[in-house]
Amino acid sequence: MKKHSLKMLSIIVPVYNEDRYLDAVMSKVITQPLPGGLKRELILVNDGSQDNTWNVMQSLPDKFPSIRFQLVNKPVNEGKGAALRDGFAKVVGDIVIIQDADFEYDPADYPKLLQPILDGKAEVVYGSRFIGEPHRVMYFWHQVANNALNLLSNMLTNLNLTDMEVCYKVFVRDVIDQIKIKSSRFGVEPEITAKIARMRLNGNRVRVYETGISYAGRTYEEGKKIGWKDAISAIIQIIRFRFMD
């Protein structure tokens, strides 16, 4: 297969109350070697944080002057979906990846996430926390809920993903330009998946790959934000975006 000639990776980082971790996470994102000679830009969206997050964000361009930064400061918290919508609107890169602002996901996985696109095998790549890579042992009922949501999503999209809710999703620019996000909060994950499936159904050439990634989940004491209300919302979004836009 013909390899894509791609030059820049846009890294979208929605941030809410992460002043404890943001500087160290961004340092790891920036120092991670990228395959294919890719350059990188970071688009950070402060989603109405009530801690020192915005000040930390503003300090990053001076610490890393060789990196292209775009910083967005939202005065009111609207949710991950709204933050991603704002971030996607500013993308200039050829490939787009979503990065959380904590240490649950490891930027060392970037090369394996990017390679199927660079090799011309995929237009979309999902990470998966459940296919063989190390992960921190966490909450049993979270796993049950995740499996149920993943099964429902697969049934309605006819995709065989193992981890629809994963943060690490990678897209070529043309795909993300066609996805207009409507979910403001964590329902954005099933929404993106449903819209990718619809693009495939409509005859678009969207090949989806999945690769194992490591995962170090957080406890609620460590700052985890997703809860049972988000699971209910995800069910609604899975059904909603299967049958309507």
161-181 residue pLDDT tens: 999 999 999 999 999 999 999
| Cβ atoms within 10 Å, residue 53 | 23
Question: For 69-96, what is the mean pLDDT?
Answer: 96
Give the highest mean pLDDT range of 82-86, 137-141, 197-201, 232-236.
82-86
Q: CATH number of the domain at 88, please.
A: 3.90.550.10
Residue 38: name the closest of 104, 113, 100, 101 by CA.
113
The answer to whether position 173 is within a domain reads yes
Alpha carbon distance 145, 228 (integer Å): 9
Name which of 144-148, 164-168, 193-197 the model is least confident about: 144-148
Report the C-alpha gap between 174 and 182 in whole angstroms. 18
* DSSP string over 117-181: HHTTS-SEEEEETTSSS-B----HHHHHHHHHHHHHHHHHH----S-TT-S-EEEEHHHHHT---
* Positive or negative: CA dihedral 183, 189, 195, 198: negative
* Structural domain containing residue 103: 8-243
**Residue 102 clears pLDDT 50, i.e. is over it:** yes
SS3 68: strand
Asked if residue 19 lies in contact with residue 50, where contact means CB atoms within 8 angstroms, the answer is no
Instruction: Please say if the pLDDT value at position 146 is more than 80.
Output: no
Confidence of residue 1 (pLDDT cuts 50, 70, 90): very low
Phi, psi (5° rounding) for residue 180?
Answer: -100, 105
- Asked if residue 2 belongs to a domain, the reply is no
In angstroms, rounded to a whole number, what is the distance separating the alpha carbons of residues 123 and 184? 25
To the nearest whole number, what is the mean pLDDT of the chain? 88
Q: How many domains does the chain have?
A: 1
Give the model's pLDDT for residue 138.
61
